[in-house]
Structure 1
Amino acid sequence: MNSIQPLSDIIVSLLNLVRKGAPRQLLLVSGGRQWCQQQVSGLNCPTTRILWIGDAGVGLVPPAQLKPVSAKQTHQLLGQESECVFFDCWSGFNPNGFGQVSGTLIAGGVLVLITPTLSAWQAFNDPEYEHIAVEPYGVADVGRRFIRHLQGCIACDTDLIQFTEETPLPQLCRPKDAVTPVAGTHGQPEAETSSCSAPFRTADQERTVKQCLQAVRQSRAVLVLTADRGRGKSAALGILAAVLMRKGITAPEQDIPNTDSSVNRDRLDIILTAPSRGAVQSVIAMLERLLSAELREHPRDLWIYGENRLRFMLPDQLSRQQPDADLLLIDEAAAIPAPVLLSLLDYRRVIFASTLHGYEGTGQGFAVRFMPTLDRRVPERQLLSMQQPVRWAEGDPLERFTYRALLLDAEPVTLAATPAQWGGVSFRKLDRDDLIADSDMLKQLFGLLILAHYRTTPGDLRILLDSPNIEVWAGFSEEEEPTLVATALLAYEGPINHGLAEAIMAGTRRPKGQLIPQTLLAHCHIPEAAGCRGLRVMRIAVHPQRQRRGIGTALLQAIEQASTDIDWLGTSFGATAELLSFWQPFGFRLQRLGYNRDKVSGTHAAVMLRGVSPAGIVLQEKGTDKASLQLKRLALQGTGQISSDLLSLFAL
């Protein structure tokens, strides 16, 4: 067994390659807790751009010079760049946090993954289990499948460097596929960047901005810009906005100015929207960098340069108010529902920017849900894509590992053109241990869920695999060989013991999980909800090539027939006419409609239920009566908080 090893020496050796344009490295530090703590206690790294991700009170104690950032707060780091990241798995492995922080690393950077001894990792009580274990389950009930999945990813990765308690100091050398960079380009070959004028990081980014400039100088322009994460897409939007605010939208195309401070005198209004303000940090950072002290932010979310203005608005607010603008920039469009995006097409100039594969959402689902309608409404739309990485080198090994570990590029299989009727589909509950053993099936299944919901994140993968109250169902087409064409993710909820139910009704307890029973107890005051057991449909997805053939309904029927120990089937979703047309014919009835709009989708959350046992039918009827009174009260109030069109959609 090793004594204390010079972890600092390893990291210093790897960081020396940053300036040599090496690919980013994943360094696995694995051992017992005391050994891991010894390794990090004496760290002294030659850079100030170091991040420590973890909770010191739960995991390891970081070196004194590093301030820990919780994995749940890594979204605050978006837009930043780092040379070294320590990810403390003794604090828990948060998939979203890992995906977010890995994107901050520049070319040649090092991500240090500190884990328990690999062979014992599954037995370790990961602090994340406390967030996965819903009432009435405990940490011991949570599965260990996601860690097993990570172990498999580590075992098959020939690029990562392992430094463990049982192995000697690894021999380090410059990777053979490293590229020679130009200063300041973070790993891009000289031939690709020599034409770039500041602030461009790649020729790809420069070309994209110039294409956007040319397009938006027309009276009507709709562009769709897609890129994988780390290609400089958001920064390109910031450069575009800065050029337009300085030169105006009708000025002739010129090189990007860095010193010319002239201001267009015809006022220009740009609106920027995204699922959250944090998602546009890179856009705003680039805008502020290029326009420097002459740019004013007053009030918050309004930037003024001369007479020109850029405003940030959340999607729902923008969709409802529809303020005038000369140009609308939509970043992370994949994480915004397609109906909201389509409602913004009345603007004369719109740029939809979407990450293809990322923790924010998926551009693949964006393409399936949004692009066909866009093509019909605006056939002259332009498609742009960005391929060159900005922060790291081509073929980056850390990017490959992140994609594999978090299934960021998961997609369903492409089906034959011949349509299959639902009668040719068989349904069954899947064993989640079998899913871990079949990586192709897991990837196809998660890919279907990504397509079905714009907010599917890597964290959902861990819930799917490990949550103790989850069931996974699938439908397989039998055209030639069994092919996955549908899936459903289900959560068991209830019954709830009497004491907890009373506390929920009194408003003194809000346990994790149990969404539908808690809603019926806390908001509808129906005590019978505590004694019933049900299945909540968290997600249901049908392959895009097999939709509108009754497969989803048949899957629900198969689930109900097989689930003989439940009183109800339920669901909760953002209410739209399209979704209600699926749930209502199957007998689902409204139990409660949320008062507040979702800030991204603009929808109101609807809780619906279908009783399948005598007790469940009584519960449904009581909930329906409560919902009817709620809707009548809302209609009489006429406050506009919930539209009359939405109220009329519910068949009670």
Structure 2
Amino acid sequence: MEAVAEGLAREALESGERRLLLISCEDRLGALAEVARVYRRVAGEGVSALYSNVWAGEEVLGSRRLESQIPRDVRLTSLDFDRSEEAMGGTWDILLTDFSVQMRANDIGRLVETVRGGGLVVMAIPPVEEWLRTLTDFQRRLASPPYRESDVRAEFKKRFLRTVKGAEGARFVDLESGDVTGAPRVVQRRKRQPPNVDDPLLGLALTPEQVQVVEAIDRLSRAPNKAALVVVANRGRGKSAALGLGIAHLMGRRGVRGVAVTAPAVSGVQTLFRFVSRGLEALGIRGRAVVKEGKTVAVTVKGRSAFYLTPMSLVESNVKVKVVDEAAGIPTHLLFKVLGSSRLAIFSSTIHGYEGAGRGFSRRFMARLETTSGVLVEKVEMRTPIRYPEGDPVERWLYDFLLLDAEPGDPPEGATPEVGEYVRVDLSASDEEFLKKFYGIYVLAHYRNRPNDLATLLDAPHHSARALLIEGEPVVSVQICEEGRLTRRYVEGILKRTENPPGHMIPSRLLAHYGHKGFPKLWGWRIVRIATHPALQRRGLGTRVLREIVREAREAGVDWVGAGFGVSEELLRFWVRAGFLPVHISPQRNPVSGEYSVFVVLPLSRQAEDMVREIVGEFKRRLIDSLHDVYFDLSPRVARMLLSPRWGKARPRLRFSQKLRLKDYLRGYNTYEMVSDAVWEIARAYFLSPPDERPLTEEEEVALLARSLQGRGWGMVAGLLKVKKVVEVMDILRGAVKKLVVLYGEKEITEV
């Protein structure tokens, strides 16, 4: 192995590219230490190494032994896998990992990208057959009851081995058999020319694209009207650093007093804040970093500051310069609220990388942004890697292995629901081209994909895939998760908070919120993802697949089919039109997306139908009684759809005084404020059990919901209905109440 390691080290250092070494053996720490010694001998002094493994009580497993076996002048950093996110922004010469106990795709995506050009990515595993037979901690979490650990697949590990053996710039060494796989890759070293700029701040930029970002920020900050900058890049292109330098320029040279920054998590803006500080220092200004719980949350200087806010808080902030890093992780409607509330909005997104979803986001967001009137829009695409040269073979392997740049195929002509073939997909038997097209539909859809999602789909026994094929090409991709069939032990444990079986999202949520012990014992299919080829959307293909899933589930004896999602009017309409019944809404909005989570269920068996009818009734009562409080800010149009299923035969219970006041209200003598209690009673009965032929228009239902059940002011309701005068809302509401009085046969009220 020493010769292989030395050859790889020389290849890497001479080419400036990275190299990958996978070692299979019993003594994994010894093998990792040997590679570190060889690399130090070839590279000389000043070598840095990152070692990652699981935490073992007092240390990262094996870190002390490893440190004792490598040269003392190798600067070793040990980081357990659970903290792999902290490695982002750091750079090392060698990455050393042991995947015997834990192997998570997310960790691989993060850690591999921390190695600089000329460095080595070194991974160790037990003897291959033993490794494939045993489960990592991640795989054990995939054994969702009633499935057992023996049911968990090893397809992700097999994919790992297969892609490493077939990758350029990689070697696989099996120390048990003595086999070595892989061939030398000889390329000329390419010298990088740093940007030729005579500016202390821009001198920190390592690529021309970083300079372009700072110059674009400066240019748009001086625009006479509202402006937006969109920065897109692959991982490792210095995007966050460039944003940090741009913010430092605004604070240090343009006198901007406040810049608000957000990302899906505060950990995602640490590099940005570090370069705000470095940029200010380059301008001769000493900034002060504000640190909370080990994370920088602001950089301040002389009454000016760049500071972190959650996405929802950013929308509400009155700061005029706002920056959204990793914008793909935040719903588009929030991004446009950011745009609307700022003078300069800067959005960045990773196109490919472990964050996922960036490419689909970039296409959709830019298309809509460019049609927004009154906004000057610029886009900068960053292509040059910071740590290693373009064409680096380890980056190519990582993207292939984790399908980070998977793309759907060309859309077939004449794609209609009728010509599609619905199939169950065996991803372990699918060729690489099909897998990339299937998964590429997710990548370009609205889903945020993480590498762990791929590992779950490949290995979890309760997860399976479906597709709609046209001319053999996948045009709709589906991921299904089996839920339910829980034993009494798990049901009682969930209620007592002593059990938390993985998966079972819908049964456990309904059990916790409604106490229905029978539902978790039923067998259900939760549709985790359903996505249509972006060029073929709104043609009924997704609806066709949904029908096929329901048919297949019914034939298999499944009790219910369901789904969970961040609710929007469009998404909820898709599920409700397909016959699915809303059964739960989260009590809080997601702090990143700003969305409420909703679960919908379609009962298939008689048993499930009886239970779901009971749950829907309780859900509707709870939602109606909470609209004025917990769900005051819920869109009335969304609330209207959540309350649309018919349940029971509710009728208003009006007292004599209420009927008397309602009569004068309908005659125009009383104001709404004098009858609000009576209107609430009528509205509650109507939305608890809407008739099959609804007498109210959508506009009237929205007015009734917003004004009566939520208690919104007249001006707010007028804005929702897009009417100019409050009196118009009053007339709409009075007309709606009159129709409902007639509906419920209150003759003494209607007789004038």
Q: Which residue of 2 aligns with 1:476?
A: 469
User: Displacement, 1:360?
Assistant: 0.8
Structure 1 residues 306-334: Cα deviation after superposition (integer angstroms, max 9, x where no partner): 23221211212223x1x122322111112
> Is the alpha carbon distance of 1:113 and 1:554 closer, same or farther for their aligned partners in structure 2, counting shifts above 3 Å?
same
Q: Which residue of 1 aligns with 2:247?
A: 241
After superposition, residues 118-129 of structure 1 pair within 5 angstroms as: 118=128, 121-129=131-139
Alpha-carbon distance in 2 for matches of 1:85, 1:298: 31
After superposition, residues 13-162 of structure 1 pair within 5 angstroms as: 22-31=16-25, 33=26, 35-40=27-32, 44=37, 47=46, 49-55=48-54, 57=56, 61-62=62-63, 63-65=65-67, 66=76, 68-118=78-128, 121-162=131-172
Alpha-carbon distance in 1 for matches of 2:183, 2:427: 40
User: Displacement, 1:10?
Assistant: 6.7
Read off the aligned partner of 2:394 and give its amino acid letter. Answer: L
Q: Which residue of 2 aligns with 1:310?
A: 306
**Range with bigger deviation, 518-527 or 238-247:** 518-527
**Conserved in 1, the CA contact under 8 Å of 2:18 and 2:393?**
yes
Alpha-carbon distance in 1 for matches of 2:13, 2:167: 25
Read off the aligned partner of 1:22 and give its amino acid letter. Answer: G
Instruction: Pick the aligned partner of 2:403 from 407, 420, 424.
Output: 407
Q: Which residue of 2 aligns with 1:259?
A: none
Read off the aligned partner of 2:50 and give its amino acid letter. Answer: L
**Conserved in 2, the CA contact under 8 Å of 1:71 and 1:98?**
no
> Is the alpha carbon distance of 1:172 and 1:457 closer, same or farther for their aligned partners in structure 2, counting shifts above 3 Å?
closer
Alpha-carbon distance in 2 for matches of 1:575, 1:597: 10
Structure 1 residues 480-508: Cα deviation after superposition (integer angstroms, max 9, x where no partner): x3221101111111111112212222332
**Conserved in 2, the CA contact under 8 Å of 1:330 and 1:351?**
yes
Alpha-carbon distance in 2 for matches of 1:119, 1:22: 35
Q: Which residue of 1 aligns with 2:213?
A: 208
2:236 is the alignment partner of 1:230: yes
Q: Which residue of 2 aligns with 1:373?
A: 368
Alpha-carbon distance in 1 for matches of 2:480, 2:578: 17
Q: Which residue of 2 aligns with 1:578?
A: 570
2:456 is the alignment partner of 1:456: no
> Is the alpha carbon distance of 1:414 and 1:209 closer, same or farther for their aligned partners in structure 2, counting shifts above 3 Å?
farther
2:594 is the alignment partner of 1:602: yes
**Conserved in 2, the CA contact under 8 Å of 1:79 and 1:104?**
yes
> Is the alpha carbon distance of 1:453 and 1:110 closer, same or farther for their aligned partners in structure 2, counting shifts above 3 Å?
same
Q: Which residue of 2 aligns with 1:388?
A: 384
Alpha-carbon distance in 2 for matches of 1:489, 1:53: 31
Alpha-carbon distance in 1 for matches of 2:378, 2:384: 20
**Conserved in 1, the CA contact under 8 Å of 2:603 and 2:609?**
yes
Read off the aligned partner of 2:264 and give its amino acid letter. Answer: P
After superposition, residues 112-511 of structure 1 pair within 5 angstroms as: 112-118=122-128, 121-166=131-176, 176-181=186-191, 188=192, 190=193, 193-195=195-197, 198-219=203-224, 220-248=226-254, 264=255, 267-292=256-281, 294-298=286-290, 301-319=297-315, 321=316, 323-346=317-340, 347-378=342-373, 380-416=376-412, 418=413, 420-435=415-430, 438-477=431-470, 481-511=471-501
Alpha-carbon distance in 2 for matches of 1:178, 1:332: 34
Read off the aligned partner of 1:559 and give its amino acid letter. Answer: I
Q: Could you say what secondary structure the match of 1:286 adopts? A: helix
Read off the aligned partner of 1:201 and give its amino acid letter. Answer: L
**Conserved in 2, the CA contact under 8 Å of 1:505 and 1:522?**
yes
| Gap runs ≥5 in structure 2 | 68-75, 646-752
Structure 1 residues 252-311: Cα deviation after superposition (integer angstroms, max 9, x where no partner): xxxxxxxxxxxx3xx522111111111112111111222247212458523222232212
Alpha-carbon distance in 1 for matches of 2:543, 2:450: 25
**Range with bigger deviation, 296-305 or 397-406:** 296-305
> Is the alpha carbon distance of 1:325 and 1:21 closer, same or farther for their aligned partners in structure 2, counting shifts above 3 Å?
farther
> Is the alpha carbon distance of 1:174 and 1:304 closer, same or farther for their aligned partners in structure 2, counting shifts above 3 Å?
farther
Read off the aligned partner of 1:276 and give its amino acid letter. Answer: A
> Is the alpha carbon distance of 1:445 and 1:529 closer, same or farther for their aligned partners in structure 2, counting shifts above 3 Å?
same
Alpha-carbon distance in 1 for matches of 2:180, 2:433: 32
**Conserved in 1, the CA contact under 8 Å of 2:241 and 2:275?**
yes
Read off the aligned partner of 1:208 and give its amino acid letter. Answer: V
User: Displacement, 1:535?
Assistant: 0.3
Read off the aligned partner of 1:574 and give its amino acid letter. Answer: G
**Conserved in 1, the CA contact under 8 Å of 2:20 and 2:120?**
yes
Read off the aligned partner of 2:215 and give its amino acid letter. Answer: K
> Is the alpha carbon distance of 1:246 and 1:516 closer, same or farther for their aligned partners in structure 2, counting shifts above 3 Å?
same
**Conserved in 1, the CA contact under 8 Å of 2:244 and 2:273?**
yes
Read off the aligned partner of 2:51 and give its amino acid letter. Answer: W
Q: Could you say what secondary structure the match of 2:299 adopts? A: strand
Q: Which residue of 1 aligns with 2:583?
A: 591
Q: Which residue of 2 aligns with 1:557?
A: 547
User: Displacement, 1:194?
Assistant: 4.5
**Range with bigger deviation, 518-527 or 65-74:** 65-74
Alpha-carbon distance in 1 for matches of 2:537, 2:223: 38
Alpha-carbon distance in 1 for matches of 2:518, 2:409: 44
**Conserved in 1, the CA contact under 8 Å of 2:261 and 2:307?**
yes
Alpha-carbon distance in 2 for matches of 1:533, 1:589: 17
User: Displacement, 1:208?
Assistant: 3.0
Read off the aligned partner of 2:419 and give its amino acid letter. Answer: G
> Is the alpha carbon distance of 1:167 and 1:203 closer, same or farther for their aligned partners in structure 2, counting shifts above 3 Å?
farther
**Range with bigger deviation, 159-168 or 326-335:** 159-168
2:508 is the alignment partner of 1:515: no
**Conserved in 1, the CA contact under 8 Å of 2:322 and 2:344?**
yes
**Conserved in 2, the CA contact under 8 Å of 1:87 and 1:112?**
yes
> Is the alpha carbon distance of 1:171 and 1:377 closer, same or farther for their aligned partners in structure 2, counting shifts above 3 Å?
closer
User: Displacement, 1:143?
Assistant: 0.8
User: Displacement, 1:40?
Assistant: 3.5
Instruction: Pick the aligned partner of 1:630 from 603, 618, 622.
Output: 622
Read off the aligned partner of 1:558 and give its amino acid letter. Answer: E
> Is the alpha carbon distance of 1:299 and 1:314 closer, same or farther for their aligned partners in structure 2, counting shifts above 3 Å?
same
**RMSD between aligned alpha carbons?**
2.7
Alpha-carbon distance in 2 for matches of 1:425, 1:144: 31
> Is the alpha carbon distance of 1:174 and 1:520 closer, same or farther for their aligned partners in structure 2, counting shifts above 3 Å?
closer
TM value normalised by structure 1: 0.88
Structure of higher RCO (CA pairs closer than 8 Å, 6+ residues apart): 1
Q: Which residue of 2 aligns with 1:185?
A: none
User: Displacement, 1:135?
Assistant: 2.1
Q: Could you say what secondary structure the match of 1:376 adopts? A: coil
Alpha-carbon distance in 2 for matches of 1:123, 1:173: 28
**Conserved in 2, the CA contact under 8 Å of 1:506 and 1:522?**
no
Structure 1 residues 354-401: Cα deviation after superposition (integer angstroms, max 9, x where no partner): 111011123221034322222221575222111111111121111011
Q: Could you say what secondary structure the match of 2:586 adopts? A: strand
Alpha-carbon distance in 1 for matches of 2:244, 2:502: 40
User: Displacement, 1:147?
Assistant: 1.4
Alpha-carbon distance in 2 for matches of 1:195, 1:162: 44
**Conserved in 1, the CA contact under 8 Å of 2:30 and 2:66?**
no
> Is the alpha carbon distance of 1:431 and 1:20 closer, same or farther for their aligned partners in structure 2, counting shifts above 3 Å?
closer
2:520 is the alignment partner of 1:530: yes
Structure 1 residues 419-472: Cα deviation after superposition (integer angstroms, max 9, x where no partner): 52211212111123222xx11111111111222344211110011111000121
> Percent identity at matched positions?
27
Alpha-carbon distance in 1 for matches of 2:115, 2:218: 30
User: Displacement, 1:167?
Assistant: 6.9
**Conserved in 1, the CA contact under 8 Å of 2:15 and 2:189?**
yes
Structure 1 residues 609-635: Cα deviation after superposition (integer angstroms, max 9, x where no partner): 110110111121122112112202212
**Conserved in 2, the CA contact under 8 Å of 1:41 and 1:61?**
no
Aligned length: 611
Which structure features the higher share of helix residues?
Answer: 2
